[in-house]
Structure 1
Amino acid sequence: MKLNTSLANDFTSSGFGEARKFGFEMNAMAFHAVINGMYSDKILAPVREISTNAFDAHLMVDKNDVPFELMAPSTFNPYFMVRDYGPGMSQEEVETRATTAFASSKRDTNNQVGMIGIGMMSPFAYTKQYTITCYDGEFQRDYVCYLDAGEEPNVSAMEPVPSTEPRGLKVMFPVKQEDIYRFQAAISKVMIGFDPMPKILNEAWQPGRPVDLMTGSNFRIVKSDMIKRPYVRQGCVLYPLDAEQIGGEYHDNQLPIILDVPIGTASVSTSREQLGYDETTKANLAKIWKATMEDIQASIQRTLDEPTNFYDACIRYRDLTHTLPSRLWSKGLKWRGKTGLRSSFPFSGSRGATIKMSRPHGVDWITVRQPTSTDLRYGRKAPSWTPEELRDATIVVQSEDLKFAKDRLRRFRSENPGADVIWVKTDYLDSLAKEYGVEDFVDLEDYEPLKLPRTPRQTRSLKKTDIRRFDQWRSIIPGEVDEVIYVQSEGSKYKVFGEVFDYETIQRRFIEPARKVGPLFFDRLIVVLLKTQKAFAKDENWKSLEDVLQEIAGTFNPKDFQRKEEARRLFQDLLVMRLHQRKEQLPKRLQAFFDAIDEIEPVTNGEYDLSQFWQRITGKQLPDLRTYWRDRWAKLIARYPLFDAVHRNDEWLDEYLKLIAR
C-alpha cells in the first residue's frame, strides 16, 4: 500500500554545510522497542501479519480467488502455520527483506495490503523462534529465525533438500497450550476480513463466521460476538473505525458494520491496529461513510415500500426491527410517505372509542372500553392488535347516536358470514383512521336493521323461586338452558367440597383456575341452588361444581407429567447437553436413550397450570419420579468414566468419542 506523504515539506538546503542522514542502530534494544512497542496484542499481531503476507503473495501471482492454507493450534498439534502459493522468496530476499526491519517492496502500489516491512518479524511478538520454509518447485529451503542469548534476532539457513512442493512460502511457530483458545479466537476475528476464506486444515475446528444481517455494494451489517462497532476493511485487514473522528450526522460507534474501502483510502498506524486519522483519511472516510448510511436508509425505505398495503408494510417493519440493529431505525418511518409504521396497535390510542371484536369461530363478543378516569397504568395493560389481526379484519364503525346498531350489524353479518369483525363505536373517525392506518370502513348506517323473527314463547309455570345466576344478581327460568353448573348456597356464602367460602374465594380458588385449564367451563352457566331448589340438581344436564372440578382434574396424568419434567431437568446437565449434540457419534445404548427422550413432548404452560389445579382439587402431591430418567442415565454413563473429565473440552470429547467408536 502506498504511504501517504502529503505532510512532507520541501526544504531548500542552500547555505548550509554538508548534510548527513539520521541513522538507526539495529540492536536488541531497538528491535524489542519496535516489535514489543508496536503490537499491543501479541497473539493477534502475528496471525494478522502472516495471513496478510499470504494474501498479498497470492495477489502478486494473480491467484486472487485461490485461498492460502492456515492451521490453527490445537491440543494435539500446538502450532500456528500459514502456507501460501505465491512467488516464494529467494535466498537474497529472505536475507534482505524477511529479516530486515522496515524493508518492504509494497509501498509503491495499492494492489497489495502490506507496506511497513516488519510483518515477517511479527512472530517475535509472541515467540522466540519460528521457521520460514521456501518452495520453488524443485527444492525446499528452511530458515530458523530466533533470538540469541543477547536477545538479538538471527536467522540460520539449512541445507536445501529436493522437493516437488508447489512454489510458495510457509511460516510456522509453536503455541503454548494455555494460549490455544486465544489463538483460535484471534484467527476467527482476523479471518472475517478475508475473501476468499483461507483453507483451514484443522478437522475438529473451524473459525466462527458472522451472520450477515444486511449487505450492500460496499458494506456488511453483521451479527457477531467479535464485531460490536464499525470496522473499515482495507484489502483483507479490519480496522476499528471511530465514527466521531470523521464527523457528520451519522457518528455511531456501536453499529456492527464492516465498510469496504479501496486500498490506500485510509492511512493506518505502524502496528496496523488502528487507522491514522490524517485530514485526507478523514475526508475519504467521511464521504464513504455518509454515502453508505444514506444507502442503508434508502434500502430500508425501499423494503418497507414494497408491500401493496399498509399492514403488510407494518409486518415487514416488525420483522426488520427484530433483525437489524435498532440504531438503523430513524423515527417516523412511513409507508410510501403516507402513514407511520408500527409493529403493534394499542387500543389506548383510539380516543375513547368502545371496541368489540368477533371471531369467525364463534367466540362471544369481547368488549374493550377506554377508562373513564386518567389511569396511568392503563397504557401498560391496554390490549393491542397485531398488523395481521387488523389486516385480516373488517372494521365496522357506528356513531355514538346510531340507533338499532346491533340489528344493523346482524344484517352485515348475515351478508358476510364468517367475517372477522372489529366493531367500533366512536365519533372520531379521522383520529381512528390515523391511529390504525385504516382506509376502508364499513359504516353501519349504510345497513338496514335486520330484526329477528318473533316466536311465541312457551309459558312455564314455576312452583319454586327462580334460580339465580352465580356471577350476577339475575334470575333464570329452569329449563331454558341446556347445561348448567350449580353451586350449593350456605346462607350468604357457598359450600364446595364440604367447606364454606365467600364469592371472591370461590372465583379465585376454583372457577378462574378451572376456566384457565378446562374447556368444560366454556359456554356453561353457573347458578346458585338454594336448599329448597335441590330438586333441579337431578336433571342429567346439571352438574355440581365439585363434579366438574374433579372431572377436569381427572384429565391430568401426574406420572406422565413428572417423567416429562425429569427429562427436561436432565438436559440442564452440561454433559447430557453436549452428548446430545453429538448423538450420532455415541454408542447405540446412549443413542437409544436420547431417542427415547427426544420422543417426549415438552411440558406446556397449560400442563403446569393443570398440575397445580390437580394438586389443589385432589389434595395430593405429585409422585416422586425425579430419578426415573436420571437413574437410567447414571447406569449408561457408568460404562464411560472419562466422559466427566473430557466433556468440557470439545477436542478431548471428540477424540474420546472416536476412541469409543473404534
Structure 2
Amino acid sequence: MKLGLQEHVDVAAGVQDEVAISFEANAVAFYAQISGLAKDKIGYPIRELTTNMWDGSRLKYGDDIPEDMIPQIKLPTPLSPTISFRDFGPGMSPDDMKNVYARLYASTKRGSNDQVGGWGLGSKSPYAYLISDSGSGSYTVTSYHGGMMRTYVLSLSQSGAPTMRLLIEAPSDEPTGLEVSFPVRREDIREFHDRARRILWSFTPRPKITPAIDWKEPVVMSQGDNYTRYKNGTVPFDGPHVRMGCVMYPIDMRQIKTTGFLDYSDVVLFDAPIGSLKVTLSREELAYDDNTKSTLTRLVQEYEQNFIKNCQEAVDTAEDLIGAVELFEEATQSLGVSRTEKLREVVKWRGKTLSSTVPKINCKTGMLADGWVHFDKFEDTTVRMSWCRDAKIVIEHNPSYSYSRFQMAQLVGQKVLWIRCKRAFREEVLNALGNPEVVELDTFKVPASKRTRGKTVRRRRVMVVTEGGGVLVSQEDVDLAEGGFYLQRVSNGLYSRRRGNEYVKVSTEQNSVSLSVMKEVISASFELGLVEEGTTILIQSEDHAALGDNWTLFGDDLIPDLQAKIDVSTFTGLHQKSFNDLDSALRGIVGMTPATFANAPGDLLLFKTELTALGTALRGNSTVDTPTDKAHSALSRLGIEIDKPEVQCPITAMERRYRELCSKYALLKLIIEPNPYYSYSNRTDAAQTQRQLKHYCDLLHAEQQLLQQQAEMARAALALNDNNQNTAPVEDEIDPLAEAA
C-alpha cells in the first residue's frame, strides 16, 4: 500500500553545521517498535500475519485465488499449543529474507495500492506476543521458493536484539509460499480463538481455519455500493467499522463531521479503497489525517443518501398510507426514535408525512379490537398506524345509535378504526389518511323499532336537526353511555319553561341563550355545512345525573367551527352595500355622460371619475349573505364578538368630497339639487340638469382660460419693463400689472 508520505522542502540556507538524526538499532528501540507498539499482543500477530498471507496470495493469483491455494491457519489447541500461518504466494528468496524480512521498516508493498501492507513491521509481529515478563520465545519462518525449502528461526539474542538464523535448507516440491508458526501459552489458547473469530471475519476470501470457526450467518438489514448494514448481534463487531482491503477498523465518530444520521450503535461496515485511509503502525486503529477524514465523511454521506433512497423506494411501493408507514418503520426499526422522527420529515408517501399515529385533524379516533362484542362508549384515543393494518376504517358524523349501526353494517367483532368527525371535515380527514376505503356508518339508518335499548337508555328531551336545517324539540330514547352533544338547561325564573323563555348553556365559556336563539344558530350552522340532518342534541336538565366524559357541550364543538368560517378580509367598506346606498344626488352624477364634464375643473373631473367607478362597484356588489356573514351573525346571537378590521366606507368619503366641491363651486349644488318645491323626477329634468351643469363647467373653463391669459400678459409686461429699465432711463414709473390689465 502506498503510504502517501509527503515531500518536504529542505531549508538549509545559512547553516554552519549539519548532523543527520539517526536511529540506533538496539534492544530498547526494537521493544518500543514491536512489543511496545501493539495494544493487543494476541490480535496483533494474527491480523498482521494473515494480512501478509492475503497480500502474498493476491500477488500471485490476483482476486481469483484457487480453492486449493487459499491460505491456511492452524489455531492452537491443548494438544498442539502452536499457531501457524501458511500461504501459497510466491515465497521469498534468500536475499529477500535477509534484506526485507529480517529488516525493520523494509517492505516490497509500497509501490502500489494492490496490497494492504507497507510498514515493514508485520513480519516481526510475533515478537509482540513472545516478549513477556517471563522472558521471550522464538518463532519459525519457512520459505518455499525456487524449489527449495528454507527454515529460519527468529529470536532475541543475549543483548535483547532480534536475530534471524537459517536452520534448514533443502530441496522441496511443496507449493511456493511462506509458513510462520510460534508457540502459544496454554492459558492464551481461548483468547487466540476469540481474536481469530473477530479479526478473520472481514477477510475475503477467509483463510481455511483448523479447527474451523463457526460464524453466525449475518443478517443484512440494507446494502449499498460501499456499505452493508447488519442486524446487531449477528456479526462479531459493534458500531460502525470500515474495511480497507481485508482489515477492519473501528470508526471514531468524533473525528469526522456528520449530520448525526450515523450513530455509534449502528452496525455498519464500510468498504474503502486500499490507500484511501491512513492507519497507525500497529494497524489497530485509523490515523485520522485529512485524507482519511475526507474519505470517511464521503462514505458516511453516501450511506445516508443511499439509506434514504432505499427507504423512499420501499415506501413508494405501498398502496396506501398505512402500508407506507409499515414499510417505513420496518426500514428504520434499528435507528431509534430521534433519527426515525427526523427521517419522517424527508421520506414521504405521495407527499404525506409518515406519522406513527393516525392523524387527528378535526376528528376523534377510537379503536375496537378484533373480537369485540360491545362497548360502553366511544373513547377518543391515539391510535398507532401499525395497529390499523387489516382494520376496517369506519367514519361517523352523527354520534347516535352507533352500536345499532355497527350491527347493521355487520362490523361487530371485527377490528375497527373508528373515526368521528363533522361532515364538513370529511374530505380533510380522509385526505390526511391517504383516502383509504371506509365504511360510512351514517348511511345505515336505524329505525326506531330496531334501536337497541340498553340499561343506560333514557327518555330525554332532545333537539333534532330535520330536513332543510329545521330544528325539532321532542322526547326520544338516548343512550347515555354512547355519548354525543348536549345543551345544559339553566333556570331563568319561575316561568323558564314558558314558550321562548327556556334558556340553555351552550359552551363552557359562554353565557346561556334562549332555546329559540339556539334553533336559529343551528339552522345557520346547517347552511354552513357544520351541522347535518339527523344530528341529535340532548337537552340536559339540572335535576338529571351528570353526564360522562364522552358528552360534549354542543357549543364547545360548534363555536370554533363557526369562527373558522369567518374571513375578516371580507369586511370591507362596501360590505353589504348597494347602489341605492348612495345619495340621490350622487346617483344622478353617476348617470351623467362624460361629455357633461368635458370642460370641468380637474378636481371636479376626478370626482366624477372616481364616483362612477364607485357606482359600478356598488352595482356589481352582492348583498347576499356570505358564509362569513352567516357565521358572524350566528356568533353574535351567541354573544360572541369578532374583531373586525377598522375600515372606512367609501360612500361616506365620497359624500364628504361632494360637500367640499359644493362649497368651492357655488352653483354646483343649485344645479344638481334644485329647490325640492319645484323639482320633480323625469327624463326632461335630468337632461336639463346635465345641460345646465355642462354650461356651468364651460363657464368655469372659460374663466380659467381668462385667468391664465391675464397671468401670461402680466408676466410679459414684467419682462418688458425689466428690459426697458436695462436699456434706457425711465421718466415715469408705470405699474406693469395695471397696464396689462
TM-score by length of 2: 0.53
Distance in 2, Cα, partners of 1:44 & 1:144? 22
Specify the structure having the higher radius of gyration (Cα): 2
Count of aligned positions: 439
For the Cα contact (< 8 Å) 1:356–1:422, is it kept in 2? yes
Partner of 2:331: 320
The amino acid of 1:213's aligned partner reads: M
Deviation by residue 1:100-153 (Cα, 9 ceiling, x = unmatched): 100011112111111110110000000121111111373321111111232221
Matched ranges for 1:57-96 at <5 A: 57-66=56-65, 67-96=70-99
The alpha-carbon distance between structure 1 residues 391 and 100, as it changes in their structure 2 partners (threshold 3 A), is same
CA distance in structure 2 between the aligned counterparts of 1:337 and 1:130, rounded to whole angstroms: 66
Structure-2 residue corresponding to 1:199 = 208
Indicate the SS of the match to 2:36. Answer: helix
Written as runs of structure 1 = structure 2, the 5 A alignment for 1:334-413 is: 334-341=347-354, 353=364, 355=366, 357=368, 359=370, 363-367=372-376, 369-370=378-379, 384=383, 387=386, 390-400=388-398, 408-413=405-410
Give the structure 2 partner of residue 439 of structure 1. Answer: 436
Aligned-partner Cα distance in 2 for 1:207–1:178: 23
Q: Does 1:231 align with 2:241?
A: yes
Residue 109 (structure 1) aligns with: 112
What are the Cα deviations for residues 574-632 of structure 1, in whole angstroms up to 9, with x where unaligned?
xxxxxxxxxxxxxxxxxxxxxxxxxxxxxxxxxxxxxxxxxxxxxxxxxxxxxxxxxxx
Tell me how large the CA RMSD over aligned residues is. Answer: 3.5
Residues 17/156 of structure 1: CA separation in 2 closer, same or farther (3 Å cut): same
Check 1:179–1:64 CA distance in 2 against 1; reply closer, same or farther (3 A cut).
Answer: same
Partner of 1:267: 278
Q: Which letter maps to 1:65?
A: D
1:415-461 deviation per Cα after TM superposition (whole angstroms, max 9, x unaligned): x899654444443657854776663433333344467689xxxxxxx
| Residue of structure 1 equivalent to 2:36 | 37
Distance 1:41 1:444, change over 3 A: same
Deviations, residues 538-575 of structure 1 (Å, cap 9, x unaligned): xxxxxxxxxxxxxxxxxxxxxxxxxxxxxxxxxxxxxx
2:154 corresponds to: 145
CA distance in 2, matches of 1:344, 1:425: 16
- 1:192 & 1:328 partners in 2: Cα distance? 29
Distance 1:70 1:358 in 2: 59
Aligned 8 A contact 2:147 2:173 in 1: yes
Secondary structure, aligned partner of 2:46: helix
Secondary structure of the residue that 2:298 maps to in structure 1?
helix
What is residue 54 of structure 1 aligned with on the other side? Answer: 53
1:295 corresponds to 2:303: no
Per-residue deviation at 1:194? 0.9
1:243 match:
253
CA contact (8 A) 2:325 2:356 kept: yes
The alignment's TM-score, normalised by the length of structure 1, stands at: 0.59
Structure 2 SS opposite 1:267: coil
**SS of 1:275 mapped into structure 2:** coil
Q: 1:304 aligns with which of 292, 307, 315?
A: 315
Assess if the C-alpha contact under 8 Å between 1:190 and 1:238 holds in 2: yes
Q: Deviations over 1:225-263 (max 9, x none)?
A: 642222221111122222232213236433222111111
Quote how far apart the aligned CAs of 1:385 are. Answer: 5.6
Aligned mates of 2:97, 2:145 — CA distance in 1: 13
Closer, same or farther: CA 332–271 of 1 in aligned 2, 3 Å: closer
Give the 3 Å change call, closer, same or farther, for CA 403–119 of structure 1 in structure 2: closer
Instruction: Tell me the distance in 2 between the aligned counterparts of 1:170 and 1:368.
Output: 80
Distance 1:355 1:452, change over 3 A: farther
Q: Which amino acid aligns with 1:234?
A: M
Specify the alignment match of 1:2 in structure 2.
2
Is 1:160 equivalent to 2:164 in the alignment? no
Residues 133, 140 of structure 1: 8 Å contact kept:
yes
- Equivalent residues of 1:130, 1:173 under 8 A apart: yes
- The equivalences for 1:115-194 within 5 A come to 115-127=118-130, 128-136=137-145, 138-194=147-203
**Is the 2:316–2:349 contact (alpha carbons within 8 Å) kept by the matching residues of 1?**
yes
1:30-86 superposed Cα distances (whole Å, 9 cap, x missing partner) = 110111221111111101110111111012112423331112222332222111111
Distance 2:187 2:280 in 1: 30
Query: Residues of 1 paired with 2:10 and 2:307: CA distance?
Result: 47
Shift of 1:394: 2.6
Contact 1:339 1:434 in 2 (8 A): no
Q: Which amino acid aligns with 1:58?
A: S
**Is the CA contact 1:188–1:209 (under 8 Å) kept in the aligned structure 2?**
no
Aligned letter for 2:353? Answer: G
Q: Which amino acid aligns with 1:40?
A: K
SS of equivalent to 1:61: helix
Checking the alignment, whether the CA contact within 8 Å between 1:189 and 1:226 is kept in structure 2 is yes
| Structure 1 runs not aligned, ≥5 long | 372-381, 455-468, 475-662
Q: Is the 8 A contact 1:255 1:325 kept in 2?
A: no
Tell me the equivalent position of 1:220: 228
Looking at structure 2, the residues matched to 235 and 45 of structure 1 have their Cα atoms a distance apart, in angstroms, of 17
**What amino acid maps onto 1:278 in structure 2?**
D
Percent of residue pairs identical: 29
Q: Report the AA paired with residue 3 of structure 1.
A: L
Return 5+ residue gaps in structure 2 as ranges.
131-136, 459-741
* Partner Cα separation in structure 1 for residue 89 and residue 165 of structure 2: 23
Q: Hey, what's the Cα distance between the residues in 2 that align with 1:279 and 1:338?
A: 40
Q: CA deviation at 1:339?
A: 3.4
Partner SS for 1:158: strand
